[in-house]
Chains A and B, each alone.
Chain A
């Protein structure tokens, strides 16, 4: 059972539609009880870092979520701001992140961008730097949809599993044990995104 965390941010329906079409059992998690039989977790996110953190803090099930991820080691996939929240902190806000991965979230550097527009918006290629189950049957340099102005900067570069170039190359996918994150939106990336979400549902952890 995949639990899609609904804390008022992000595209819950898009995930459930995809899992429905894949015939993968899933549910929307709105209160702590919903987490009971959840084996895998999707943490979506659209929006500003602090606002997202505040919403999640307010959800009432943050302790249960922390327990599932940190103690029970259930696989979790953070998406966009959902990925960024797994870091320690973000330059976008002042609140603490979840601290599931040692990382900061940084703003793109204007000079390195060399007049490229910000936010980073649109379809960009994802370069898988190491073999990872999350990208099974997805060829490297496949295109995914991005929409963000801040990027995930892991302390330990080994946890970075895919890079995308915008100005400099940044980590667009991360994996540390049972914790996964993607900066792009698999739920809005057509067949590549569907494959990635299918891979997540098939993970053996």
Chain B
């Protein structure tokens, strides 16, 4: 049987790893390669690495860094940050990355998904939605580290990107980022109903029970987390951690 995926998500800022709260207040937590080495030992299901500077600084992805990460990774790697073109996507996949994640470029030019997936196959094309609750109900999609609001409707976009060839959808809750108080189950429910591709939820996990709750409700799903896998205890001491196989099985 296919297992739900439990995925650490690492953010890169100024070449270091950081963890944010509501997409702000980034706290330095260490060296990316070192973190990957520890996650190798822990045999994690997958790893997501997002360069949160690339799009904001309007620059190319840092290919050298991606190559170094991919060389070290013994698990499937998804990279996001600054990807705008087919050739960038191909170049990154050729460095040994399994999946590329795109966000802002897709909202400017949805056809990009079609172009990329026809070359690399839709299994490697991930669309990330940074999502924030509206004041009076509903959700809105943001880009550029939650600074730029997208006009289109979230559900319509989720449907559209799948039609165009997305192979996975990651929903990243801006409100719950770094809060460690559990995932937004309503949000998952809304999106899961509309997806026929794998879906991964990110933002809010503070304990393993938060993950088991999602799996119990939604079955095959990806549960990604930042803080949960890099912090320990109420003072948030940096300690890279991940459930061992036995503890993981308990979550399913």
Q: How many Å from the CB of A196 to the closest CB on chain B?
A: 14
Q: How many Å from the CB of B85 to the closest CB on chain A?
A: 16
- The residue that B198 contacts in the complex, of A13, A17, A46, A119, with Cβ under 8 A, is A119
Q: Which of A1-29 contact B (CB under 8 A)?
A: 8-9, 11-14, 17-18
* A191: interface (CB < 8 Å): yes
Q: Which of A106-130 contact B (CB under 8 A)?
A: 115-125
Q: Which of B56-97 contact A (CB under 8 A)?
A: 70-71, 73-76, 93-96
Q: How many Å from the CB of A90 to the closest CB on chain B?
A: 11
1/0 per residue, CB under 8 A from B, across A40-73: the answer is: 0000001111010000000000000000000000
A188 adjacent to B198 (CB under 8 Å)? no
Cα–Cα, bound, A46→B3 (Å): 21
* A145: interface (CB < 8 Å): yes
B120 contact set on A, CB distance < 8 A: 46-48, 51
Q: How many Å from the CB of B126 to the closest CB on chain A?
A: 10
Interface of A, helix, strand, loop or mixed by DSSP: mixed
* B124: interface (CB < 8 Å): yes
1/0 per residue, CB under 8 A from A, across B93-129: the answer is: 1111011000000000000000001111111100000
B123 contact set on A, CB distance < 8 A: 119, 121, 147-149
A125 contact set on B, CB distance < 8 A: 1
- The residue that B121 contacts in the complex, of A12, A81, A118, with Cβ under 8 A, is A81
1/0 per residue, CB under 8 A from B, across A94-115: the answer is: 0000000000000000000001
User: Which interface class (under 10, 10 to 19, 20 to 34, 35 or more) fits B?
Assistant: 35 or more
1/0 per residue, CB under 8 A from A, across B24-62: the answer is: 000000000000000000010110000000000000000
Point out which of A11, A51, A148, A165 has the most chain B C-beta atoms below 10 A from its C-beta: A11
A117 adjacent to B196 (CB under 8 Å)? yes
Q: How many Å from the CB of A19 to the closest CB on chain B?
A: 13
A190 adjacent to B74 (CB under 8 Å)? yes
Interface of B, helix, strand, loop or mixed by DSSP: loop
Cα–Cα, bound, A9→B121 (Å): 11
Q: How many Å from the CB of A121 to the closest CB on chain B?
A: 5
B118 contact set on A, CB distance < 8 A: 48, 51
Cα–Cα, bound, A66→B124 (Å): 28
Once A46-B93, A123-B3, A125-B1 are accepted as A-B contacts, the answer to whether A147 and B76 lie under 8 Å apart by CB is: yes
* B4: interface (CB < 8 Å): yes
Cα–Cα, bound, A13→B220 (Å): 30
Cα–Cα, bound, A166→B1 (Å): 7
A119 adjacent to B122 (CB under 8 Å)? yes
A122 adjacent to B3 (CB under 8 Å)? yes
B198 contact set on A, CB distance < 8 A: 117, 119, 121-122
- The residue that A143 contacts in the complex, of B3, B71, B93, with Cβ under 8 A, is B3
Closest 3 CB pairs of A and B: A119-B123, A48-B121, A117-B198
17 other contacts beyond A47-B93, A123-B45, with CB at 8 A cut-off?
A: A11-B70, A12-B96, A13-B70, A14-B73, A46-B120, A47-B124, A48-B120, A48-B121, A117-B196, A119-B168, A122-B198, A124-B2, A145-B76, A147-B99, A147-B123, A149-B121, A188-B98
A-B contact pairs, 24 of them (CB 8 A): A11-B98, A13-B71, A17-B74, A18-B74, A46-B124, A47-B93, A47-B120, A48-B117, A51-B119, A115-B196, A117-B196, A117-B197, A118-B196, A119-B197, A123-B2, A143-B3, A145-B45, A145-B46, A145-B75, A147-B99, A185-B76, A188-B74, A190-B74, A191-B43
Which residues from chain B sit less than 8 Å from chain A, CB to CB? 1-5, 43, 45-46, 70-71, 73-76, 93-96, 98-99, 117-124, 167-168, 195-199, 220, 222
